[in-house]
Structure 1
Amino acid sequence: MRHNKTVNHLGRQASHRKALMANMAVSLILHKRISTTLAKAKALRTYVEPIITKSKDDSTHSRRMVFAYLKNKEAVTELFREVAPKIAERPGGYCRILKTGFRQGDGAETCFIELVDFDTEYTQNGGAAKKGAAKGRTRRAGGAKKTATATENATPAAETPVAEAAAVEAVAAEVE
């Protein structure tokens, strides 16, 4: 039974686990997306979300509090300059976990953990562009088939051998 066990110890001592979470949080802030196991990603999410919430208030005290967790000046600077303005209106849920399958060696479940506002696939602008580009032909049976007209069957002028030879000569003349 798991009574009163809220922290996943990840098979590590407290100091090792603290260092692991700090290093993973720094990597997540700097790279915006990292690949890890599902257990570590879930533990990292509970570690990094309060840190991101503290970064909304850009004061000396909050910077020192965040630095106490991360222990990396570049990550603290990135967090307060780049990440905090983007997530200012978001009330929580700064990280997203995407499962990617199982690891070859030990069968551990792997995933990506990423900052939500920094992924263009799922944001409003990037998602709309991808959806429009991915829309293609559907596989439906039946329906009326169009009869080909003589103009559709005729080859365009650019595809005839004479036109291709003329185009090649024009390019060669431009090069010289």
Structure 2
Amino acid sequence: RITTTLAKAKALKMYVEPLITRSKNDTTTSRRVVFRYLQNKYAVTELFKEISAKVADRPGGYTRIIKLGIRKGDAAEMAFIELVDFDENMAKTPKAAAKKTRRSRKAAPKAEAPVEAPAAEEAKAE
């Protein structure tokens, strides 16, 4: 997770997403292409071993940008960018519980209970 300005987070997303997509195919060519961008063999090893294993079944959208508000000093929009599959708190939230059913505003027709039935039972009891 990286906290930065919104503009830098969006630029980073455009830079990182293709590298993660490339890391899903572990070949020498893809490692060389990714190394050309990152220039750090430990980062390339981490990307190809751990990150690519977690995002192997995801078709895209590996990162998430969450807006934090405005920075006090210069009023820049702040956000943090994180990998989607690595945030344990977001993964634990139940999606079904958050979704509510929609109901119409019209009142449902009320079912009229037979009034005579309880009176008939009272007559039989006596």
Pick the TM interval, shorter chain.
0.7 to 0.9
- 8 Å Cα contact 1:120-1:127 kept in structure 2: no
Deviation for aligned residue 1:34:
0.5
Q: For residue 90 of structure 2, give the secondary structure of its aligned residue in structure 1.
A: coil
**1:72 and 2:40 aligned:** yes
Deviation for aligned residue 1:120:
0.7
Q: Which has the higher contact order (CA 8 A, sep 6+)?
A: 2
Alignment of 1:145-156 (within 5 A): none
**Residue 82 of structure 2: aligned partner:** 114
Q: For residue 122 of structure 1, give the secondary structure of its aligned residue in structure 2.
A: helix
After superposition, the C-alpha distances for 1:112-157 in whole angstroms (9 at most, x for unaligned) are: 100000001111xx224xx8xxxxxxxxxxxxxxxxxxxxxxxxxx
Deviation for aligned residue 1:95:
0.4
Amino acid at match of 1:40: K
Q: Unmatched 5+ residue regions in structure 2?
A: 98-126
Amino acid at match of 2:3: S
After TM superposition, the score normalised by the length of structure 2 is: 0.72
Identify which of 41, 63, 69 aligns with 1:95: 63
- 8 Å Cα contact 1:102-1:109 kept in structure 2: yes
**Residue 100 of structure 2: aligned partner:** none
**1:51 and 2:19 aligned:** yes
After TM superposition, the score normalised by the length of structure 1 is: 0.52
Q: For residue 12 of structure 2, give the secondary structure of its aligned residue in structure 1.
A: helix
Q: Unmatched 5+ residue regions in structure 1?
A: 1-32, 132-176
Q: What do you get for the CA RMSD once the two structures are aligned?
A: 1.1
Residues matched between the structures, number: 95
Q: For residue 121 of structure 1, give the secondary structure of its aligned residue in structure 2.
A: helix
CA distance in 1, matches of 2:3, 2:41: 23
Structure 1 moving runs of 4+ over 3 Å: none
Identical residues among aligned pairs (%): 64
Alignment of 1:31-42 (within 5 A): 33-42=1-10
